[in-house]
A = this chain, B = another copy of it.
Amino acid sequence: MKFKKVVIVGPGLIGGSIGKALLSNKLAEKVVAVVRRESAVDEVTGAGAVTSATMDLDLAMPGAEAVVLCTPVSAIADKAESVAKLISKECLITDVGSTKRSIVKRLEKIFDNKALFIGSHPIAGTEKRGVSAANDRLFHNAVCVLTPTDKTPHAAVARAHSFWKMLGARCIEMSPEKHDKILARISHLPHLAAYALVRAITADADIDMNSNLVGGGFLDTTRIASSPANLWADIFLDNKKEVLSSAKEFVKEVNRVIDALEKDDKTLLQKLLEESKLKRDKIIEHLKK
């Protein structure tokens, strides 16, 4: 066993999968979940994601060697305040928020000289939510971004690397700011686009009557519009500056296609689409390596 006790605050898809991976690989003796609702206690233990669950942080924390904050982005800092009062200096603490700049800034203050904090973002997950969707292989071959700053204790970096590696992920490091800039484009914008796309497609009432016509194109482009709305509203707001900048770039690109089409400019239209195809194909090619 690597750990006697790991605490997961807010076990949903990600936290539940961390618990499952720790237990099924015998990496932790105890995995304790801290939940918000009474009904979640049975749900989380029943799913086999943890050894026990409680609503009471005071009961959960004593003896914790690692704490993972897995609540929605907007709740992480508040939870961290409570955790900080109950933690030992050698405890590794990390969060799995999809945004990093504002969270890391606040949590660095909260845990300064109180614990070993570093921000994490495992690039895993689906449009599904909740511990019922958790699985112990979610992080296998996933990339996990660690966002150390000049305030991050060296021990936190080393232990976070080893923690995520145990779960099957490959860690890379970058600044919280760079993380948020890249993720705004690679993840947050596609979500924003998918949500808006469903609204535009269904603006015409006829579509409901003809949903048997949807093909793979609709299903794939809009899959992540089935993601939990509250989580993504949180993420967009927390990463507002970068999400806005990428969304405006996106509107510009849609308008370029619209303009080419309005002018019947086949050459330009084809060029815009072809460049896009080549760029995507290059990324896919790179991923295969």
Beyond A224-B217, A224-B220, A250-B254, is A181–B204 a contact (Cβ under 8 Å)?
Answer: yes
Residue of B nearest to A182 (CB): B210
Q: Does the CB pair B280–A225 fall under 8 Å?
A: yes
Q: Does the CB pair A247–B257 fall under 8 Å?
A: yes
Q: Does the CB pair A187–B202 fall under 8 Å?
A: no
Residues of B close to A276: CB separation below 8 A? 194-196, 198-199, 225, 229
Give chain A's interface residues, CB within 8 Å of chain B: 123-126, 143, 145, 172, 178, 181-183, 185-187, 189-204, 206-208, 210-230, 232-233, 236-237, 240, 243-244, 246-258, 261-262, 264, 266, 269-270, 272-277, 279-284, 286-287
Residue of B nearest to A197 (CB): B193
Contacts A/B (CB < 8 Å), 11 sampled: A124-B215, A186-B217, A186-B218, A190-B221, A197-B250, A199-B279, A200-B253, A212-B287, A226-B284, A230-B274, A251-B251
Residue of B nearest to A283 (CB): B211
Residues of B close to A208: CB separation below 8 A? 282-283
Q: Does the CB pair B251–A255 fall under 8 Å?
A: yes
Residues of B close to A181: CB separation below 8 A? 204, 206
Q: Does the CB pair B233–A200 fall under 8 Å?
A: no
Task: Give A192 to B264 CA distance when docked, in angstroms.
Answer: 15
Q: Does the CB pair B199–A253 fall under 8 Å?
A: yes
Q: Which one, B237, B254, B264, contacts A237 given CB within 8 A?
A: B264
Beyond A204-B185, A224-B217, A280-B226, is A212–B253 a contact (Cβ under 8 Å)?
Answer: no
Beyond A143-B212, A221-B194, A287-B214, is A226–B257 a contact (Cβ under 8 Å)?
Answer: no
Residues of B close to A286: CB separation below 8 A? 211-212
